[in-house]
């Protein structure tokens, strides 16, 4: 069965996704190494190392048309893009709505890799295999979908001590690496490529973040060398509890509903996707509910990607995006939740005889693949709260959100509706509960 057949059998895409048994995205790594508070603090004060070798889909595209393929699909500009460069690749459907994003690595001028949640890599693989492109496609599936070993290791270091730790592990000064470019060196005799990229909201050329990639069979050698080098600098290993909370601080909204479930232009993609795949089994949770799945679709502007759209090349969705460009958009913002309201909600979810509020898991309270909570101003719906949790660096609960542009005013108080209507959906991560309102203060820039 393929995704299209599963949709037809379900009768409702919304019901299929809202009641899907899949909970939050799976990070197959140890939950904690010290504790998640210590690990969160490390990326601000020292450094943290996350093993990203297992949870992301990695698809390689090699051949003379590899760059043309990416340019045909990506809203990004591709002038001067080539070996040892990278970018946050963003793809849309023909109507200009967001399909997915991933990190695009250029290992050679004709060899690229898309790394991230499965949707964008799958979208590119589908077009590579079904279009007129001279490329070969090599899939390196995430560990939960892969019975064999991964092709590469991938270690992400974040924090102010990153440069000193890696330099000590290398045993020589590091090459100058521009932001979102890659450098090459060796650690313990193993060739490594390092992407200057951060997950903690402090981008730049100061090496606050490096993503190290190399052959998987040498991953443990490199890992041990990094840990030995990092000991004097207070390097911490980061686990699966702390890892997703980096997105809340940095501003990456990880799992909006991909705009692939409706429309004739994406039907071939749905027929290509398996009913057992990620897209067919992702779940949606939250207080926002609509019978129309297209009400869950977002644009690049909603996610803060308006800056990467370049109308200097033809790509899928260009005409639609050009028509949207001058119209009002939603804006990505941060919401700092009211401490007292949040504490009362947590207490209300645990103590007494009920009815209980929706329990907030810590440190990240997402209970579905994608979160869609309503945001109100004076009773009016003005947007969606999309990714929530607690970090010690913020000192409280916060979330990312997409709100109407004219409502995106620093210091504005909004209300977040927490919990699902009618006692909750059939997802096993959802217990019977009642909705509660949380006050929050809007910020247009990162909270830390």
pLDDT of residue 203: 47
- How does pLDDT run across 8-28, given as a tens digit for each residue? 999 999 999 999 999 999 899
Q: CB-side exposure of 409: number of CA atoms within 13 Å?
A: 7
Does the predicted TM-score (pTM) go above 0.85?
yes
Quick: pLDDT tens for 374-383: 999 999 999 9
Question: Quick one: 275 exposed, middle or buried, by C-beta within 10 A (0-12, 13-18, 19+)?
Answer: middle
Phi-psi domain of 80 (left: phi exceeds 0; alpha: psi -120 through 50; beta: other)? left
Mean pLDDT of the chain: 96
pLDDT tens-digit series, residues 308-334:
999 999 999 999 999 999 999 999 999
| Confidence category of residue 213, pLDDT binned at 50, 70, 90 | very high
Answer whether residue 60 shows pLDDT above 80: yes
Arithmetic mean of pLDDT, 207-232: 95
Question: What are the Cα distances from residue 248, in Å, to 182, 272, 366, 393?
Answer: 25, 33, 11, 11
Is the confidence at residue 106, as pLDDT, over 60? yes
pLDDT of residue 204: 47
pLDDT band (50, 70, 90) for residue 205: very low
How confident is the model at residue 144, as a pLDDT? Answer: 79
Report, in this order, helix, strand and coil percent for the chain, each rounded to 5. Answer: 25, 30, 45
- In this prediction, residue 171 carries a pLDDT of 97
Q: What is the CA radius of gyration of the chain?
A: 22
Q: Report the pLDDT value the prediction gives residue 299, as an integer from 0 to 100.
A: 98
Which of 1-5, 54-58, 69-73, 370-374 comes out lowest in average pLDDT? 54-58
What are the structure tokens assigned to 211, written together? 């993503």
pLDDT in tens, 145-195: 776 678 999 999 999 999 999 999 999 999 999 999 999 999 999 999 999
Map out the domains of the chain with their CATH numbers: 36-55+150-243 (3.30.1360.120)
* pLDDT at residue 104 is higher than 90: yes
| Tokens read off for 281 | 């089994």
Average pLDDT over residues 69-92: 97
Provide the pLDDT for residue 198. Answer: 83
């Amino acid at each position: 069965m393929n995704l299209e057949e599963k949709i037809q059998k379900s009768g409702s895409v919304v019901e299929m996704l809202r009641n899907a048994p899949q909970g939050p995205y799976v990070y197959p790594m140890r939950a904690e190494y010290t504790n998640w508070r210590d690990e969160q603090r490390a990326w601000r004060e020292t450094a943290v190392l996350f093993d990203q070798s297992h949870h992301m889909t990695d698809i390689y595209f090699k051949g003379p048309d590899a760059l043309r393929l990416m340019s045909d699909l990506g809203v990004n500009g591709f002038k001067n893009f080539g070996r040892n460069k990278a970018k946050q690749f963003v793809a849309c459907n023909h109507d200009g709505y967001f399909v997915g994003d991933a990190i695009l690595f250029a290992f050679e001028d004709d060899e690229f890799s898309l790394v991230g949640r499965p949707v964008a890599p799958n979208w590119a693989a589908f077009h590579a295999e079904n279009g007129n492109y001279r490329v070969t496609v090599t899939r390196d599936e995430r560990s939960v979908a892969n019975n064999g070993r991964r092709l590469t290791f991938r270690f992400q270091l974040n924090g102010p001590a990153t440069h000193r730790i890696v330099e000590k592990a290398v045993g020589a000064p590091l090459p100058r690496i521009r932001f979102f470019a890659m450098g090459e060196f060796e650690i313990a005799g193993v060739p490594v490529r390092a992407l200057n990229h951060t997950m903690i909201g402090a981008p730049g050329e100061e090496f606050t973040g490096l993503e190290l990639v190399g052959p998987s069979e040498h991953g443990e050698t490199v890992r041990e060398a990094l840990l030995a080098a990092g000991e004097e600098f207070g390097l911490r290993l980061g686990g699966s509890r702390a890892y997703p909370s980096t997105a809340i601080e940095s501003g990456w909204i990880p799992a909006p509903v991909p705009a692939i479930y409706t429309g004739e232009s994406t039907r071939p993609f749905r027929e290509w996707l398996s009913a057992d795949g990620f897209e067919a089994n992702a779940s949606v949770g939250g207080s926002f509910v609509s019978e129309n799945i297209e009400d869950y679709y977002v644009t690049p502007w909603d996610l803060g990607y308006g800056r990467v759209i370049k109308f200097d090349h033809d790509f899928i969705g260009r005409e639609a995006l050009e028509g949207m460009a001058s119209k009002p958009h939603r804006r990505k913002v941060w919401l700092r939740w009211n401490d007292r309201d949040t504490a009362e909600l947590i207490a209300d979810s645990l103590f007494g005889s009920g009815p209980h509020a929706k329990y907030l898991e810590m440190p990240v309270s997402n209970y579905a693949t994608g979160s869609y909570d309503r945001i109100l101003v004076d009773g009016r719906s003005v947007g969606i709260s999309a990714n929530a949790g607690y970090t010690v660096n913020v000192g409280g609960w916060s979330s990312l959100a997409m709100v109407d542009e004219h409502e995106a005013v620093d210091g504005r108080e909004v209300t977040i509706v927490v919990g699902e209507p009618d006692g909750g959906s059939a997802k096993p991560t959802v217990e019977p509960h009642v909705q509660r309102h949380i006050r929050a203060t809007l910020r247009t820039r990162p909270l830390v």
